[in-house]
Copies of this chain bind each other. A is one copy, B any other.
């Protein structure tokens, strides 16, 4: 199925030399435009303008960027510094850069020449890519099995928020990957796509991915989700996560928490899909999660079409819709407490109910990956 992916990022080796090719997400869904990066400054620019975005895929961009510098004979240390600083809050970006740099250094220390070290670095980036794709595949299968258990009989109507698919991942994604598995299993009746204001990642990107997969889907304003719940048209909510605290509190795109409250009010499962790296043992609970406040302009202005960058996340340029000087409250994320989360699905299995002990056991490095515990935690 991998060739059905819309690659957010790929490595190519044309005769002119290796390049990193990105799908420009700022042009979606109007145009599928690729950005070809022949050096690290070009890749850094693409990261900064959000041509490539999303935690897992930023890790890949960092690793391939280091590999690109090594392959083309640039200063690898300088490339790593530029890449790591492109989006200072992106932990995954630095993780990918660091892994590639370590591989490069180790190769040189082992006596490899520049070409051999470059090949080793590229191999490390590709390994990270495979790991991410594998994690996506396992999350998709765990999530699909959970839904079959919770909602036997298929014909599922699933609601999602923001964008969690192939565009942010080396594989099929997190929540969207589960939806995709359900769809491929012939059990998706409809995907409800929250538009996800203010930056419309749902309307723009999740719809784009759903259309590419030929899913039955409908876009809705975030406020219209309540009507769907009231009408009994939502069987489960599936979302991703930006961070999961040790107690199971889930930080995700703003608008997730109202869905959790609606889901609870209507007795609908609320499922979070995220790799184990999203669980942060250093964050004890929801109150400890610092929520980024974004520029008010994202709310008080409507983005205008411009090439390139219809909706650049960091520097929106728009037409004012609110009065001049209007203040806005614009948190990037909200926090859903664990008691409203039916299950957390990871590549290592499912935690349900969501408890600190269950999460800790799942994330433990010593934990066998195929056991099944009886304490409310499902593995496979």
Which A residues form the contact surface with B (CB < 8 A)? 29-30, 192, 194-198, 200, 203-204, 207-208, 211, 217-228, 230, 254-255, 257-258, 261-262, 264-265, 291, 296, 299-300, 302-305, 310, 319-331, 334-335
In order of increasing CB-CB distance, the 8 nearest A-B pairs are A223-B255, A226-B258, A197-B221, A226-B257, A222-B223, A29-B323, A220-B329, A211-B323
Q: Which of B192, B195, B226, B257 is A197 in contact with, Cβ under 8 Å? A: B195
Taking the closest CB of chain B, its distance from the CB of A216, in whole angstroms, is 8
Interface of A: prevailing SS: mixed
Bound together, the chains give a CA A203 to CA B258 distance in angstroms of 20
Q: What's the minimum C-beta distance from A317 to chain B, rounded to whole angstroms?
A: 13
Residues of B within 8 A of A203 (CB): 299-300, 321-322, 326
Q: Are B329 and A223 in contact, CB atoms less than 8 angstroms apart?
A: no
A340: nearest chain-B partner, CB-CB = B265
Q: List 25 A-B contacts (CB under 8 A).
A: A29-B323, A29-B324, A30-B320, A195-B321, A197-B221, A200-B321, A203-B299, A203-B322, A203-B326, A204-B322, A208-B323, A218-B329, A219-B326, A220-B328, A222-B223, A224-B330, A224-B331, A226-B261, A227-B291, A227-B335, A230-B334, A261-B265, A265-B265, A304-B304, A305-B319
- Chain B nearest Cβ from A50, distance in angstroms: 15
A247: min CB distance to chain B, Å: 15
Closest B residue, CB atoms, query A258 = B226
A207 to B323, Cβ gap below 8 A? yes
- By the criterion CB–CB under 8 Å, are A328 and B30 in contact? no
Query: With contacts A224-B330, A258-B258 known, is A302 near B303, CB below 8 A?
Result: yes
Q: 13 new A-B pairs (CB below 8 Å) besides A29-B323, A223-B255, A265-B265?
A: A29-B324, A197-B197, A197-B221, A200-B321, A204-B322, A211-B323, A222-B223, A223-B258, A224-B254, A226-B254, A226-B261, A227-B335, A264-B265
A286, closest chain B residue (CB): B230
Q: Which residues of B contact A328 (CB under 8 A)?
A: 218-220
Please state if B218 and A334 are interface contacts (CB–CB under 8 Å). Answer: no
Q: Are B219 and A197 in contact (CB under 8 A)?
A: no
Contact A197 B211 (CB under 8 A): no
CA distance A225 to B330 in the complex (A): 10
Give A6 Cβ to nearest chain B Cβ, in Å: 12
CB of A13 to closest CB in B, whole Å: 32
